[in-house]
Chain A
Amino acid sequence: MGKEDCGMIPVLDALWFTFYLLMFFGLLALIRLVIGPTVPDRVVGLDAMTTITVAAMIVLAAIMEEPIIVDIALVYALLSFVATLYIARYLRRKKEGLQ
């Protein structure tokens, strides 16, 4: 990695620390996914965990200096709300079917 640039190493350490903290907050959102009492609670936990993980993936791509692995975060940001919309549509249709 780029150790030859002067003044660059504290910023790299700060980005590593940012990545660790983001993974810890993703674990906190995972607790809500596990213990959530209703289905929308779990969906909210999954949504927050997806957003935090996208941020962590982008930070790790900047640390590793790999431009190709930002695209995984892009795919997740684009596709994560398909599951959310499907589950919300299922809940509404189920309630309307019961009435």
Chain B
Amino acid sequence: MIGFGDILILVFAIIGVFFNALGSLGLLRFPDVYTRLHAGTKCTTFGTIFTVLAVVCYSLWRWIAVPDPRWVVISVHSIIAVMFLLLANPVGAHAIARAARKIGIRPYGAVVDEMEGMKND
């Protein structure tokens, strides 16, 4: 007995797991720190959004079946957590990219560095 809520939760969970898999695989396979940052921050954030969306759909569906206030607490706190993650992750990624550029790590295969010798890089 597969209903519409089952299909929605499964699709959200599959999208989240797929993007988390791409992020962790790219974190292992990419050649330098900037591309690893690209994989390890953006893909995992996107996958975490969809995984939490699956959890929110599951808890709201259980709340519709049996009205228990625990499910509302779980869904609201999950949404707050993913909003904090959305605020915190790009800030940290930007700071790490600037620090890596500052301490002299060149991008892999780069031949022209347009930021060479600029004052506030």
Contacts and interface: CB of A to CB of B under 8 A. Distances in A.
Asked if A and B touch directly (CB within 8 angstroms), the answer is yes
Interface residues on B, range: 35 or more
A86 to B, nearest CB: 9
Interface string B32-64: 010011001100110110011011001100100
Given A47-B93, A58-B51, A95 B13 contact: no
Name the residue in A2, A45, A55 with the highest tally of chain B Cβ atoms < 10 Å from its Cβ.
A55
Contact of B10 (A14, A28, A48, A54): A14
B20 A25 contact: yes
B103 A18 contact: no
A43 B97 CA distance: 11
B95 A28 contact: no
Interface of B: 1-3, 5-6, 9-10, 13, 16-17, 20-21, 23-25, 27-28, 33, 36-37, 40-41, 44-45, 47-48, 51-52, 54-55, 58-59, 62, 65-66, 70-71, 73-74, 77-78, 80-82, 84-85, 88-89, 91-93, 95-96, 98-100, 102-105
30 contacts: A5-B62, A7-B1, A14-B13, A15-B13, A26-B24, A28-B27, A28-B28, A31-B28, A38-B105, A40-B96, A47-B96, A51-B41, A51-B89, A52-B20, A59-B51, A61-B55, A62-B74, A62-B78, A65-B70, A70-B81, A73-B78, A73-B81, A78-B84, A78-B88, A81-B91, A84-B95, A84-B96, A89-B95, A92-B102, A94-B103
